[in-house]
Structure 1
Amino acid sequence: MSFSLNFYSIRKLLNIKRSKAFITNSVRLQSVQHAAPIKRICIVGAGPAGFYAAQYLLKQLSDCAVDIVEKLPVPFGLVRFGVAPDHPEVKNVINTFTKTAEHPQLRFFGNLTLGTDVSLEELRERYHAVLLTYGADQDQELKLPNEQKAHVVSARKFVAWYNGLPGAEDLQPDLSGRDVCIVGQGNVAVDVARMLLNPLDSLKSTDTTEYALEALSRSKVERVYLVGRRGPLQAAFTIKELREMLKLPNVQTLWRAGDFKGIDADFAKLQRPRKRLTELMLKSLGEQSTKSATESRKQFLPVFLRAPKSIFDRNMEFSITELQNNVAVATNATEQLPADLVLRSIGYKSSCVDSSICFDVQRGQVFNQRGRVLKDAKSQIVDSGLYVAGWLGSGPTGVILTTMNGAFTVAKTICDDILSHSIDTSAPRPGLDISGKRVVTWAGWQRIDQAETQAGKESNKPREKIVSVPEMLNIAGV
């Protein structure tokens, strides 16, 4: 945000009439800048990591040109398709990304897929540096029998379904049962629980897709279990997410008192954020005994110290765990929980979309040293000019602020490598040749954006997302 303001302020300043000496100096400065070839940088992925990196690069390198390549016709990645619809304030970061995209030295190329429409080899030939930020599009699995049954769905796909990711509209989750069991206790898991338990009226004014609203209106879900391997002190959700759950109208949160046994001994050692979260859980636990279970038809049921063991048609079996050195160890004791629908939410992983990427298949991320991609995992030799940022390089950790800091760090590394001549920028590079390709430019995205917001006005929503790629391309005019 601050960069955008500074850039346009400087441009305005340069348009003001100055003395002859000032004009002469400006012309001299421009001629010096154009004496050296433009430093061309390609970013693959138009999510938060990609846009934050672009913002930093354009601010620090006055003689660079940045192209962002994105497989979808639309930008913003997880901000558009991952952030919960009832969290519009989080999506405000799109305003910052839009200002970056409108920088005269940035181009957006949507509807181009790395590994299919363009190879990494081609990008590296046409740019001085390539930064991979295409995110994590796969799920970690439980690796249990029956995991492929129809009533077992990944939380990632469920989120994509109500957020309008193209292709996810065909998911059709079965919401006809009373009990949903979410395996995992991160913020994504809590988002999903909130969407299932939220009154429908509170979602109608969000950008939740119309088909999801229709399905949720028929939902028979009344109880949502949120199950984790470890205890309350290790819960992965944040205090903000928990507060929202506790405030849901006509939803009762029911904790298990036994899960909190013995935590007093470690409470004083907790860092402030963890201590505040624990205090909120204990406060809610203390208040639930004074409330009647009949006050609310719906229930939110966090369950700790349970590891998934078996999946059945209408329930799940969990091993009861014990913490040993902060690690959940399964005991011989088990418990079954009702589960008409199982939502797996135990983490994401990335895909290797081009065979020339040095990729860690086991961890689902690119081999790298502080953002510099390696030629191979054994030698630890850096592949000069190739970088990675975001979840593709770090694994799926943190929130948007974490991604921002990581992207800035890698972008600084790129700047340092260019300025120290670790990357040879002496010869010009042409940038991507998009002739013959159906590319959505930023102007094309603006037409899609306008169509969505106009459709949303008819239902008093911020937008009605288009989920058909052919329809997007038609509106974009390609």
Structure 2
Amino acid sequence: MTHRVAIVGAGPSGFYAADGMLRARPDLHIDIIDRLPTPYGLVRAGVAPDHQGTKAIVRQFERLLAQPDVRFAGNLEIGRDLTWDELNEAYDAVIVATGMTIDRRLGIPGEDLPHVWGSWRFVAWLNGHPDFRTGPDLSAVRSVAVIGNGNVALDVARLLAKSPEEMARSDIVPEAGAAIAAAPLTDIYVIGRRGPEHASFTNNELAEMGRLTRAVAVTDAAGLDAAPPASDPTPERLRKAKNLDILKGFAANQAGAKPLTVHFLFGAAPVAIHAAEIELSTGRLPADLVVTCIGYEGLPFPRREDVFPVGWARRGPTGTIPTNRAESHAVAQEVLAFLKERDPKSGPDILPAAIDAAGWHRIDKQEVAAGAAAGRPRVKLTDWQALLDVAQAD
């Protein structure tokens, strides 16, 4: 009899944890459980649809799903179909890889207005998450305020600023792509509370903002001579210094040189949101849509010796997808050390009927076929029942 491990959450950190355990213990039985009928978590629902190279990591995860003792169990929700206690009783260890999917609040007046969207909800809509099928009304949106100085803020600004031709090879939901293309956008403001030397953009993503065909990136040269914090590790200082160089290039650009202008504003803290504008510590700006990109929160899970959080559930919403690999492999070693001291539990399989890997492959096949017909990587199924119908088809 072998040990059984449940991984709750079929995103990158969960798959990397499975990979780390199987490298040392290929005899383990691993069940990867997710509330969605589709695996891959943020790779499918959170990575920007125009960054297909980032999404290619799923090929590695597919190889894991093909292993005989790895089982995908989709459309199972903890609290609805199973309890945490049931998992702990049935499995020798439980890995929590549920991530964080609740948009953090600004804590200012007006953030509950209908034109204020959190980045998770906004990007999930663009990516066809079945919980977020309806997006904001963009038909009269001319000015957008994007609050945040990380890559998610860049994703939101870039996806709104790109032309339909630039998005042609993405897997953005067609309805969302059409809504953005038809919007009368003229200005996007990327707003940071701190100075440019503190921005957490990665260099490639920031530089990409300077290569858009219908949008020009601009900023104020004031403050761009600041030095990155001396207390930062050397790689961080180098990244921030390169960001400052890229921003200096933006400072030489002219607003209005292209149909759409992306303004990078620093040292501007949001104070309040109004019907068609945002109030900052530095003044007011027009804003028909506000997208907050200030981080996420997660749902609670049990804290006990046989429960091992990983990824964002462990460290919070920081880092990129590759960041998860080393951490997940380290957690895998913790799990293996824990199992080494314990005999395997015996008992029946407690998982109710679920969408298995074969069901996911039916969804995948249909989406890719629809994409091929449209000249895209895939056209996603976005309706819960449609996903289940395809997955469960004979």
* TM-score interval, normalised by the smaller of the two chains: over 0.9
Alignment CA distance shift 1:150-1:279 (3 Å):
same
- Work out whether residues 100 and 296 of structure 2, in 8 Å CA contact, stay in contact via their aligned partners in 1: yes
Instruction: Kindly state the Cα deviation for residue 173 of structure 1 after the two structures are TM-superposed.
Output: 3.7
The yes-or-no answer on 1:425 pairing with 2:343 is: yes
Partner SS for 2:360: helix
- The CA deviation at 1:292 is 4.5
Change (3 A) 1:259 1:335: farther
Partner residue, 2:102: 138
CA RMSD between the two structures: 1.9
Partner in structure 1 of residue 237 of structure 2: 274
Partner of 1:228: 192
Change in Cα spacing, 1:61 to 1:465, as seen in structure 2 (3 Å) is same
Question: Contact 1:232–1:278 (CA<8 Å) still a contact in 2?
Answer: no
Secondary structure of the 2:318 match is coil
Number of the residue aligned with 1:327: none
Q: Are 2:270 and 1:298 equivalent residues in the alignment?
A: no
Q: Give the structure 2 partner of residue 453 of structure 1.
A: 368
- Are residue 46 (structure 1) and residue 10 (structure 2) matched? yes
TM-score (norm 1): 0.78
Q: Distance in 2 between matches of 1:205 and 1:142?
A: 34
**Number of the residue aligned with 2:325:** 404
Highest Rg: 1 or 2?
1
Equivalent residue number for residue 27 of structure 1: none
Matched, 1:476 2:391: yes
In the other structure, the counterpart of 1:26 is none
Structure 1 residue runs of 5 or longer lacking an equivalent are: 1-36, 320-333, 359-373, 375-382
2:273 is the alignment partner of 1:335: no
TM-score for both structures, normalised by structure 2: 0.95
Give the CA deviation at 1:473.
1.1
The structural deviation recorded for 1:306 is 1.2
Asked if the contact 2:100–2:299 (Cα under 8 Å) also holds between the matched residues in 1, the reply is yes
* Deviation for aligned residue 1:160: 0.5
Structure 1 residues 324-356: Cα deviation after superposition (integer angstroms, max 9, x where no partner)? xxxxxxxxxx4112211111110011013xxxx
Does the residue aligned with 2:166 lie in a helix, a strand or coil? helix
Alpha carbons of structure 1 residues 113 and 266: separation in structure 2 relative to 1, 3 Å: closer
Shift of 1:98: 0.3
Contact 2:277–2:288 (Cα < 8 Å) also in 1: yes
Q: 1:208, CA displacement in angstroms?
A: 0.6
Measure, in 2, the Cα distance between the counterparts of 1:283 and 1:193: 17
CA contact 1:267–1:275 (8 Å) conserved in 2: no
Distance in 2 (CA, whole Å) between partners of 1:212 and 1:448 is 20
Is contact 1:128-1:429 (8 Å) kept?
no
Call closer, same or farther: CA 1:222–1:121 in 2, change over 3 Å.
same
Match of residue 165, structure 1, among 117, 123, 129: 129
1:393 is matched with 314
**In structure 1, what is the Cα distance between the partners aligned to 2:149 and 2:321?**
18
Residue-by-residue CA offset, 1:34-78 (whole Å, 9 max, x unaligned): xxx210111111000111111111121133100111100000000
Q: Contact 1:38–1:428 at 8 Å: present in 2 too?
A: no
Q: 1:270 to 1:260 in 2, by over 3 A?
A: farther
Task: Judge which range, 202-211 or 188-197, deviates more.
Answer: 202-211
Q: Rate the CA distance shift 1:427–1:150 in 2: closer, same or farther, 3 A.
A: closer
Cross-structure match for 2:295: 347
Partner AA of 2:155 in structure 1: D
What displacement does 1:279 show?
Answer: 3.7
Deviations 1:250-290 (A, max 9, x none): 322111122325x159689873453354345335425643x
What SS class does the counterpart of residue 66 from structure 1 fall into? strand
Q: Which has the higher contact order (CA 8 A, sep 6+)?
A: 2
**Greater Cα offset, 93-102 or 300-309:** 300-309
Tell me, yes or no, if the aligned pair for 2:171 and 2:376 is still in contact at 8 Å: yes
In structure 2, the CA distance between the partners of 1:160 and 1:178, relative to structure 1 (3 Å rule), is: same
The alpha-carbon distance between structure 1 residues 176 and 281, as it changes in their structure 2 partners (threshold 3 A), is farther
Tell me the residue number matched to 1:414: 335
Q: Retained in 2: the 8 A contact 1:183–1:228?
A: yes
